[in-house]
Amino acid sequence: MHLFNKVKFNTPESVELEFTLAGIGSRAWAFLIDYLVLTTTLILVIIAWVFIFSQLVISTILDSAFGLWIWAIAFLTVFTIYTGYFVFFETLWQGQTPGKRMAKIRVIRDDGRLVGLQQSVLRALLRPVDEFFFIGAFLIILAKNEKRLGDMVAGTIVIQSQIENKVVNLTISPEAQLLCVKLQQTCDLSQLLPDDFAVIREYLKTRGGMSSKAKASLSLELSQQVQSIINLSVLPGDMSADVFLEAVYLGYQKLEFV
């Protein structure tokens, strides 16, 4: 396995994006954090359940059949919390759990799109199999795209979500710097994903070599997509699409690295 495996996607805007696969180290760190949170939650639930069960035993005479039902419900509750933890967070947090967020990694589909409920459920249901005798860990180490069994079935990969802080010479107008401050105060730029930021950065890097028509068309399309993501109905004042994208670039960069 390479030290840093890469994966590439082509966006609908014909921009090639490259991401670094998470690797066994980052995934193991996320695993430990998630299981610390999950184990703490399960212990509290089990303690509460034992207390409730003991009260039922004290207050009533339970027959064996009813007792079996109680334990069956307890088992289903624990299993639901175990699988639901990963499904809930990966769906709500766009491919991240608390552990993945701290480890700065994210689950995405094989085509680069966000994971949905179906993919998260499949990954969660196959997690016990992956954890049996560390099967998932061996598959991550040996597989080309570092996939455990759950990833293979769900059609997902795990990537590093932290953007590399490369020095890029970009021309940022004074208007964009002023607009950046306003956007930080009025919009939630955290709704943008790393690949959204990468598309904006790639456009700003390459726009100088575009024709005026292509530049105007692409900047307008990108700005409309970004406005939709951050819930901004109209651009402030008479700002151009280019100035808006420059401001978003600055704002998101500060959000990620400051």
17: enclosing H helix or E strand: strand 16-20
Residue 162 to residue 103: CA distance in whole angstroms:
9
Percent of the chain clearing pLDDT 70 (strictly above):
84
Query: Which residue, among 104, 144, 148, 102, has the nearest Cα to 125 in the 3D structure?
Result: 148
Could you tell me which of 101, 103, 87, 192 has the C-alpha nearest to residue 150? 87
Radius of gyration of the chain (CA): 23
Inform me whether the pLDDT recorded for 113 exceeds 70.
Answer: yes
Residue 13 reports pLDDT greater than 60? no
* Residue with tokens 């819930």, as numbered in its chain: 231
Determine what percent of the chain is predicted with pLDDT higher than 90.
Answer: 20
Neighbours of 39 (CB within 10 A): 11
The two three-digit tokens of residue 206, written as one number: 């390459």
Tokens (6 digits) for 138 = 């061996």
| Global confidence as pTM | 0.65
pLDDT digits (tens, 9 = 90+) for 170-222: 778 888 888 888 888 888 887 887 778 878 888 888 888 778 888 888 888 88
Q: What is the pLDDT of residue 134?
A: 83
State yes or no: pLDDT of 122 exceeds 90: yes
Domain ranges of the chain: 6-160, 174-257
Greater confidence, 95 or 55? 95
Residue type, 103: A
pLDDT at residue 165, as a whole number? 47
The pLDDT value given to residue 258: 40
